[in-house]
Chains A and B, each alone.
Chain A
Amino acid sequence: MHLTDRFLRDNDLLEVAKLGCERDDRVLFSNLSIQLSPGELLQIEGCNGAGKTTLLRVLAGLSGDYRGQVLWRGQKLSRVYADFRLSTFYFGHKPAVKTELTPVENILWRSRLRNESYTDQFVFSALEQVNLAGYEDIPCGQLSAGQHRRVALADLALSATPLWILDEPFTAIDVDGVGWLEQLLARHIENEGSVIMTSHQSLSKLSDRVRKLRLENFRVSDEDEIHDDSEAWL
């Protein structure tokens, strides 16, 4: 993409300027700038404890303890909270799956909280996609950790939200599942959706559309900033 295109682009979904965050007197990141447009995937990398999850929690609006500015569609996040929440899917460390409920019940309550609702048929087909066909009416307590995450991923596949914030979505997912999830991400990006994710996985199928941001301990090297003049896309 050409430099001028980048500056003319005014439809940034999420824009972060001079973001800084400290936890327990330790600087996790500072002066971080990110622009995310529809159809982009931002992969955040960094070693354990570098602040990836904290960054995602700030971007998702879960944490307000930061310096700098987060803009949603050009407006301050605090002003357009409702719109932002309606447009975001957050997939955290913990899958938010109730062990007492069946996969179908779990997807229904989660979607209702996001103000989305699906028919049972939709939910069943999504569960089939994530290899949970036949487990629809079994309490999640009897399923494995990977299957819990698959329930949450089925919910993700159903969601019509444009921005996905995914914290280590590949954890505890088997090889088939990884392939399926990569396809899901590719389809979402093709449909002008955006993804911010942390992962140690290299996204082989999407390598040409992935922008990477690396968080170092105590220091940030934003590859985007360093190569700002020449190439925004890596």
Chain B
Amino acid sequence: MSAASLEGSKAFVELVKRDLVLAFRTPGQTLNPVAFYLMVASLFPLGIAPEKELLSQLAGGIVWIGALLAVLLSLDSLFRSDQDDGSLDQLLLSPHPLPLLVLAKISAHWLTTGVALIVMAPLLALMLHLPTQAFPALMLSLLLGTPLMSLAGGIGAALTVRVQRGGILLTLLSLPLYIPVLIFGTGAVQTAVEGMSYSGHLLWMAALLMLGLCLAPLAIAASLRIVADG
């Protein structure tokens, strides 16, 4: 039995596949954050002023804050359903390394929320009159920023998995981690609007993403073990 080789990659793929199928079969839950994202962004022109000059200044920030809030909204269900039906115990008891399985869950989360937010971003940017030269900066910063938000938010989601209605606690835990992402993300868009080079911002985000990829799965795995102990 112990001689059987551990096929971690197969478990990883299986878990990503499972979560994607789950997301696909509950479209209401999956599309909820995306609908929220659209609403937040479309309320700004109504709430402030539909003037082109003003909106084009704010567009980058609005799209980014919308994306951040949408990710926060989606985080609560990241481990909750697994906890509710007992699947989380099976994850914890798997012979495969828990950080690997956690990374699979985070990947599936990013593929269902992050990618949808990136795809919707140009539409919102167009609506908010973002100058065309800033589009690549917006897309690239979101491409680096959304997986980072899934990873960092996963820590809060793991810690609050057993807290009933832990939404506000989850927000409080995750927001401090999101602030650097937001600053670099909107910074990149703003610099691009002013016509300057934004590669510095993106490199910082890439560095943070690497850090997150290495450390967040370990932190999430440790959090899940601690929470399961109670």
**Contact between A99 and B10, CB atoms less than 8 A apart:** no
Q: Does B101 contact A (CB under 8 A)?
A: yes
CB-contacts of A190-217 with B (<8 A):
none
The smallest C-beta distance from A24 to any residue of chain B, in angstroms, reads 10
Q: Which residues of B contact A108 (CB under 8 A)?
A: 14
- The dominant DSSP class at the A interface is loop
**Contact between B89 and A85, CB atoms less than 8 A apart:** no
Q: Does A45 contact B (CB under 8 A)?
A: no
Q: A112-B10, A115-B95, A139-B25 are in contact. Are A62 and B89 (CB under 8 A)?
A: yes
The residue in chain B whose Cβ has the minimal distance to the Cβ of A81 is B95
Q: A65-B229, A95-B86 are in contact. Are A113 and B22 (CB under 8 A)?
A: no
- The dominant DSSP class at the B interface is helix
The smallest C-beta distance from A194 to any residue of chain B, in angstroms, reads 13
Q: A95-B85, A100-B25 are in contact. Are A114 and B6 (CB under 8 A)?
A: no
Number of A-B contacts (CB under 8 A): 95
The smallest C-beta distance from B111 to any residue of chain A, in angstroms, reads 17
**Contact between A86 and B95, CB atoms less than 8 A apart:** yes
Q: Which residues of B contact A43 (CB under 8 A)?
A: none
Task: Select which of B2, B22, B25 is within 8 A of A86 by beta carbon.
Answer: B2
Q: Does A64 contact B (CB under 8 A)?
A: yes
**Contact between A85 and B93, CB atoms less than 8 A apart:** yes
The smallest C-beta distance from B7 to any residue of chain A, in angstroms, reads 6
Given contact pairs A113-B14, A113-B15, enumerate 16 new A-B contacts (beta carbons under 8 Å).
A62-B228, A83-B1, A85-B94, A93-B86, A97-B85, A98-B85, A99-B85, A105-B18, A109-B18, A113-B91, A113-B96, A114-B95, A115-B6, A115-B95, A160-B1, A162-B1
Can you show 13 pairs from A to B with CB atoms below 8 A apart? A82-B95, A85-B94, A90-B90, A90-B93, A92-B86, A94-B85, A96-B85, A96-B86, A97-B86, A100-B22, A113-B91, A115-B11, A160-B1
Interface residues of A (CB under 8 A from B): 60-65, 82-83, 85-88, 90, 92-101, 105, 108-110, 112-115, 117, 139, 160-162
Interface residues of B (CB under 8 A from A): 1-2, 4, 6-7, 10-11, 14-15, 18, 21-22, 25-26, 81, 84-87, 89-96, 101, 225, 228-229
